[in-house]
A and B are shown apart, each in its own frame.
Chain A
Amino acid sequence: FVEPRDTDSFDYNNYHTLSEIYSFQDMLVDENPSLVSKMVIGQSYEGRPLNVLKFSTGGSNRSAIWIDTGIHSREWVTQASGTWFAKKIVTDYGRDPALTAILDKMDIYLEIVTNPDGFSYTHTRNRMWRKTRKPNPGSSCVGVDPNRNWDAGFGGPGASGSSCSETYRGPKAHSESEVKSIVDFVKSHGNIKAFISIHAYSQMLLYPYGYTRTPVRDQAKLNSLAKKAITDLASLYGTRYRYGSIINTIYQASGSTIDWTYNQGIKYSYTFELRDTGRYGFILPANQIVPTAQETWLALMAIMDHTLKNPY
C-alpha cells in the first residue's frame, strides 16, 4: 500500500478510511501553514479527535462559515466531498476572486468527519451504521442519532425515544460529545454567520425548521438563497434539487442541527442532502464523488458569497 505523499497525489476519486482522512488533514495543514490550521474541538465517545480545519487569512475572531460533513457515518460521499472541499479551498484561494474575497474577510471551519466513531465502525464492522457509538445504559442497542440530539424541540415528534431506533434522540439534548463539542465551539466562537451541515442522499437543500411548522423569521431570504444555490448546483451536471424548510420538504424532525444553529442566531443555517442516482442510495459509486463535490461546491459558494455580501 502506498501512502499519498501530498494532497496533490491524494486520490479524491475513491473512498478512504478514517486514518487516511486524518493524514490528509495533516498534510493539508503542513502544505498550507499560512492558510490552514487544525483545531481539535473535542473527543468522540471512543476517544477519537474531533478535528476541524480552519481556513483563515488572519485577523482575530473574524465572522465565519461552518461546514460539516459525515454526521451520519454511513453517508460516505459526504466525508469524501468534505475532503475535496478542503483541497478546493486551498487551490482556489488567490485564484478564484469570489472565494478569495470570502477568505479575505471571513474564516471557514470545516469538520470533515463529524462522527468518527461511527465512520470507523462503517469501515470495520457494519457499513450501514449511522449513529454514534456510545452505549445506552439498560439497552443492548448502541448509539444516538446525532441529528436528533440538539436542543431544538428536543424530544418532540420526528425523533425516537427508543434506543434501538436509527433516529434515537438520546437521553438528553447534547448528550453526545460529537454534538456537544460543536455546540461549545459555536457558542464560544460567537461570530458564525453561516452553518451548513451536509448529509446524503435525496437531493435537497433545506433550512429550518424541522421541529415546528412555524416558519422562521428569515424564511423568504433563506428560500430565495436556496433557490439560487440549487440553480448554481444544477448548472454543472443538471442535478435537480428540491428545497424548502425541513418540515415541509421531508418530514417533521425534532432536535436537528440547523434548527439549533438558527435559534442561536445563525441566520444562514442550511442542510444538504447530496446526490441520489436512484440506484444506489448513499452507497454511491466512488466515481461519483468528485462530480458530487464539484456541483455541491457551486451551491456552497452561492451561500458563502451571499453571507459575505449580506452582513448582519
Chain B
Amino acid sequence: KETFVGDQVLRIVAKDVVQLALIKDLEDMVELELDVWMGVTDVASPVDIRVPFYNLQSVKIYLESQNIEFSIMIEDLQMLLDEEQEKMELAAR
C-alpha cells in the first residue's frame, strides 16, 4: 500500500503573471513528481500541489528563491489519511 508519510500539500499564491508562469514551470518539472491538485489558472486563484517528502526542500527553495508566497495546506498527508481510515473503521462498527 502506497503511503504519503511526510508529503505536504502546498497552497501557492502568485502575485502576478510572471509568478504564475514560474509556478507553471514548477508544475512541469516531472522529476519532482508533483501531484497538482489545483493547477495554475489566474492570479486570483491559489495553486495546490502535493509534494513528496523527499522533494519538499527543492520545491520550497524554488518558491522562496522566486519570492513566491506559499503556505502549508496539509502538514502531513498520511496523518490525515490515517484519521480518515480510522473514522471509516469506527463508523463501520
Contact = CB atoms under 8 A, between A and B. Distances in A.
Given A15-B84, A127-B4, A128-B4, A281 B74 contact: yes
B84 A286 contact: yes
A278 B4 CA distance: 20
A5 interface: no
Given A1-B93, A281-B74, A283-B80, A166 B40 contact: no
Interface string B36-71: 111111000100101000000000000000000000
Interface string B75-89: 001001100100110
B93 A2 contact: yes
B84 A124 contact: no
B37 A282 contact: yes
A278 B73 contact: yes
Nearest to B38: A202
Q: Is the interface of A mostly helix, strand, loop or mixed?
A: loop
B38 A283 contact: no
30 contacts: A1-B92, A1-B93, A11-B91, A13-B91, A14-B91, A14-B92, A15-B87, A15-B88, A16-B88, A125-B1, A125-B2, A127-B2, A127-B81, A128-B35, A164-B30, A201-B38, A202-B38, A250-B41, A278-B11, A279-B74, A280-B73, A280-B80, A281-B38, A281-B73, A282-B37, A283-B74, A283-B77, A285-B84, A286-B87, A286-B91
Interface of A: 1-2, 11, 13-16, 124-128, 164, 166, 201-202, 249-251, 278-283, 285-286
Given A166-B35, A283-B74, 20 more contacts: A1-B92, A2-B93, A14-B87, A14-B91, A15-B84, A124-B1, A128-B35, A128-B50, A164-B30, A166-B36, A202-B45, A251-B39, A251-B40, A279-B73, A280-B74, A281-B37, A281-B38, A281-B73, A283-B77, A286-B88
